[in-house]
Amino acid sequence: MQILKEHAKPYLRDIIFSIIAVIVMAGASLWQPRLLQNVMQAIISDNQDKVMTYGVQLIILAVIGLIAGVINTIFAAKVSQSIAADLRAHEYQKIQSFSFSDIEKFSAGNLVVRMTNDVNQVQQLVMMILQSLTRIPILFVGAFILALITLPRLWWIVILMVILIVLSSQVVFKQMGKYFAKIQSLIDKTNTLAKENLQGVRVVKSFNQEENETQRFTDNSNNLTRVTTMIGYLFSIMIPMFMLISYMAIGTALLFVGRGVVQHPNDLAAITSFISYLMQIFFAIMIGGMMSTFASRGFVSLGRIKAVLDTVSELTYRSDAPEANLSGDVSFENVSFTYPGDDQPALENISFQVKAGEMIGIVGATGSGKSTLAQLIPRLYDPTVGDVSVGGINLKSVNEKSLRAAVSFVLQRAILFSGKISDNLRQGKKDASHADFSKAAEIAQAAEFVNQYDDGFEHQVEERSANFSGGQKQRLSIARGVVGAPKVLILDDSTSALDARSEKLVQEALDKELFGTTIFVIAEKISSVIHADRIFVLDQGKLVGIGSHDELLKSSPVYSEIYETQKAKGGN
């Protein structure tokens, strides 16, 4: 609730307007039956003047109620949409500051739901609060008191009806609340399934998984239908049940008024407003109950948004760290790393020193910790034990901007963003010129295909870079990595989709053009790193060998085994 209060503060004026409008609206609906009673009274006593006066008052009151309703809706919609937009923006901003492990903790799909569906739920919650929270209690208390004033001798009917409706609504709404909670988790699952399936559409199609995937989605969808249908059933039982109770109350009231009409002739006019008040009490309880059930869904969403906004990242940068022009020296001192939630370390006691300008190859079996080691250099994670330094500065006290400027990481999976090629390259250097683009594209062997486009670097990248081949994506991704002439460049298996010739050309260009840059090349194939100054051999998270290719062939059994296996398979 605190979070809602904070985000509501800038809209206090609009909130006050909407609440005033709702109070006027509730007042108008409460006063209408009173005026109707006066009209009836005037008709019974055949007083045409009074019929006219009260009639006009009734119309004015209806118009006031209508205008207040419109004003309330306008302000409530404005406030709820503004709060939702602010929440969404804050969540997005917060997520941008998340570390890798923070994102993994929630999962990317789940964060998307928290920014979309959950924010929509909160928007509806705010709308509901502004439209009903003040109106329902005023209506209930007002109609209750006015019903008792209108026909005091029938007080017991009012109380009995309230008790019966409240008791039965308790049972129904409790049941409904359970189903609403289930809906939220089913919507989460539906989103995840749809996202996974559509993103992996090529796998689904090539492995002929359409039927299985459709079945999984349909099962979930059927569950969602079952739960929403149950809510529908509960509604279909609830409304007639409440109507029955209120009609029984109305019928009993009519019976008693009819019997005593000779002694109490004024009751004839009063019964119309009494019935209206009974109906208003009934609606207030019903809407109030429904509101609390829907609201519980909104509060669950609010809690999920709060969890994102309140996340305190373990990986933070010191604000007082001075900016520095970091050199390409990289060192690891007794570094161990365990992924959050894992019990086995992915890296164990790793120490090395790399001088600026060295080219380091990193090899090892699948899962040996190559990518994990690389991710510690741009500080995507902090080591669990030990220290990592770049340019002689421990990353725990480095200036974030300086580190980003110094280290460039080209990921295993090339990811481009929709927009233009130039927009993607500028992520590597904000103020990159056309000459910078050309040079980077030359190094990454991307110039060849980019120059074929009429619009060159202004060529569009479609959503999920669907208009580029795997190799083209990798080349552009390498170009983005080198455009800012980083001091440290990490290529995490980033040439795997290139043919042998292009891979060689990229390596030669890197050697020539990025002279002075420390380059880490992670590779499955030894041929990709054979010319490195030094090669690091990883085995089950441990650094088991350091040296040139020839040295390692003599000294490292793990390296020799990988080499022999690849040679036997026909690797060059």
Ligand X SMILES: Nc1ncnc2c1ncn2[C@@H]1O[C@H](COP(=O)(O)OP(=O)(O)OP(=O)(O)O)[C@@H](O)[C@H]1O
By CB under 6 A, tell whether 366 contacts ligand X: yes
Count the alpha carbons within 13 Å of 175 in the hemisphere toward its beta carbon. Answer: 15
| Token code pair at residue 566 | 């690849």
By CB under 6 A, tell whether 525 contacts ligand X: no
Q: How far is the CB of 102 from ligand X (least distance, A)?
A: 12
Strands of 393-394's sheet in order across: 347-354, 330-337, 385-390, 393-394
How far is CA 349 from each of CA 63, 331, 534, rounded to the nearest angstrom?
78, 13, 19
Q: Which is nearer to ligand X, 104 or 358 (CB)?
A: 104
Helix axes 210-259, 267-309, angle to 10 degrees: 150
Report how many residues bind ligand X under the rule CB under 6 A.
Answer: 12
Q: Which is nearer to ligand X, 4 or 350 (CB)?
A: 350
Pairing label, strands 393-394, 385-390: antiparallel
Q: Which part of the chain contacts ligand X (CB under 6 A), choosing from 72-80, 181-189, 251-259, 364-372?
A: 364-372
Give 28-46 as a 3 state SS string. HHHHHHHHHHHHHHHHHCC
User: Is residue 450 a contact partner of residue 421, using CB atoms and an 8 Å limit?
Assistant: yes
Q: How far is the CB of 384 from ligand X (least distance, A)?
A: 12
Q: How far is the CB of 371 from ligand X (least distance, A)?
A: 3
| Token code pair at residue 267 | 């009751």
Q: Which is nearer to ligand X, 157 or 538 (CB)?
A: 538
Distance, CA of 339 to CA of 345 (rounded, Å): 7
By CB under 6 A, tell whether 557 contacts ligand X: no
| Token code pair at residue 427 | 């992520």
By CB under 6 A, tell whether 410 contacts ligand X: no
Q: How far is the CB of 370 from ligand X (least distance, A)?
A: 4
Helix axes 500-513, 470-482, angle to 10 degrees: 10
Q: How far is the CB of 369 from ligand X (least distance, A)?
A: 4
Q: Which is nearer to ligand X, 114 or 542 (CB)?
A: 542
| Token code pair at residue 552 | 């390692």
Q: Which is nearer to ligand X, 370 or 525 (CB)?
A: 370
Q: Which is nearer to ligand X, 368 or 424 (CB)?
A: 368
DSSP assigned state of 131: I
Q: How far is the CB of 110 from ligand X (least distance, A)?
A: 15
User: From residue 89 to residue 108, what is the string marking binding to ligand X with x (rule CB under 6 A)?
Assistant: ---------------x----
User: Residue 428 in 3-state DSSP?
Assistant: coil
Q: Which is nearer to ligand X, 247 or 339 (CB)?
A: 339
By CB under 6 A, tell whether 69 contacts ligand X: no
Strand partners, 547: 535
Look up residue 278 and give its amino acid: L
Q: How far is the CB of 142 from ligand X (least distance, A)?
A: 59
Distance, CA of 52 to CA of 42 (rounded, Å): 9
Q: How far is the CB of 493 from ligand X (least distance, A)?
A: 6
User: How big is the chain by its Cα radius of gyration, in Å?
Assistant: 35
Among 7, 114, 189, 370, binds ligand X (CB under 6 A): 370
Look up residue 246 and give its amino acid: S
Q: Which is nearer to ligand X, 208 or 366 (CB)?
A: 366
What residues from 104 to 143 belong to the interface with ligand X (CB under 6 A)? 104
Q: Which part of the chain contacts ligand X (CB under 6 A), choosing from 60-68, 81-89, 167-175, 370-378?
A: 370-378
By CB under 6 A, tell whether 348 contacts ligand X: no
What residues from 193 to 252 belong to the interface with ligand X (CB under 6 A)? none
Distance, CA of 99 to CA of 96 (rounded, Å): 8
What residues from 313 to 342 belong to the interface with ligand X (CB under 6 A)? 339, 342
Q: Which is nearer to ligand X, 314 or 458 (CB)?
A: 314
Q: Which residues bind ligand X (CB under 6 A)?
A: 104, 339, 342, 346, 364, 366-372
